[in-house]
Amino acid sequence: MNVEWMPFELRPEPQPTLRPEGEYLQNAWKKSVYPLAERFGVKMVLPRVSPQPHTRLAFEGFQYAKAHGRGEAYNHRMFTAFFQEEKDIGDINVLTELAEELGLDGEDFRKALETGRYREEHRKALRHAYEELKIRAVPTFVIGDRVLTGLYDADVLERVIEEELSRRSGETLGGFACDMDGCD
């Protein structure tokens, strides 16, 4: 089964982002985020970067990293940088430093962000997420035709994945095949 990361900007530009010192984020984290992080054994802090950064450049950086075979590692690094180390992932200097940590070419990465080399790729991914998949919140899991919004226990996700795999097992995938004359 294919796993695909979708960009989702909660507050895309030019919308203002929130301030971590504000009542809304303080209450949301105290009532929801911190208890869930503790339940799952994940170290998380409400980043003090204020206001919170817009994430377009970070997502364009993901498209760069994905094109260079480091997309998943890049996403993980952005999450830990922001939600554990409180780094400003809206700052091109911070993004470049993090990309270099992953073995990406820092100079080329920075130039890609400055020139918007992956901007259209990011816009296409956003359109796909917003318009085609109708994603409206994070997290959202799309498994086959099913869309699950919110956090689910592992057993629920496993069951839905198993149902999708079972449904697909009867389908003929076509494509690559070998016979006595060779493979094509």
The CATH number covering residue 122 comes to 3.40.30.10
In terms of DSSP H, where are the helices of 89-181?
92-101, 106-115, 119-127, 154-169
In this structure, are residues 81 and 54 in contact, taking their beta carbons and an 8 Å threshold? no
| Amino acid 1: pLDDT | 52
d(CA 103, CA 22): 37
pLDDT tens, residue by residue, 87-127: 999 999 999 999 999 999 999 999 999 999 999 999 999 99
Is 34 contained in some domain? no
pLDDT tens, residue by residue, 7-55: 888 888 999 999 999 999 999 999 999 999 999 899 999 999 999 999 9
Is 161 contained in some domain? yes
Is 73 contained in some domain? yes
Tell me: do 99 and 59 sit in the same domain.
yes
Write out the residue range of the structural domain in which residue 90 sits: 1-17+53-135
Collect all residues with Cβ–Cβ distance below 8 Å to 100 and sequence separation of at least 6.
106, 109
| Amino acid 133: pLDDT | 86
User: Cβ–Cβ contacts within 10 Å for residue 143, how many?
Assistant: 15
What's the predicted TM-score (pTM) here? Answer: 0.83
Count of domains observed in the chain: 2
Tell me: do 128 and 147 sit in the same domain.
no
Is 97 contained in some domain? yes
Tell me: do 83 and 97 sit in the same domain.
yes
Tell me: do 131 and 143 sit in the same domain.
no
Tell me: do 2 and 72 sit in the same domain.
yes
Is 63 contained in some domain? yes
Is 4 contained in some domain? yes
pLDDT tens, residue by residue, 116-173: 999 999 999 999 888 988 888 888 888 988 989 988 888 999 999 999 999 888 654 5
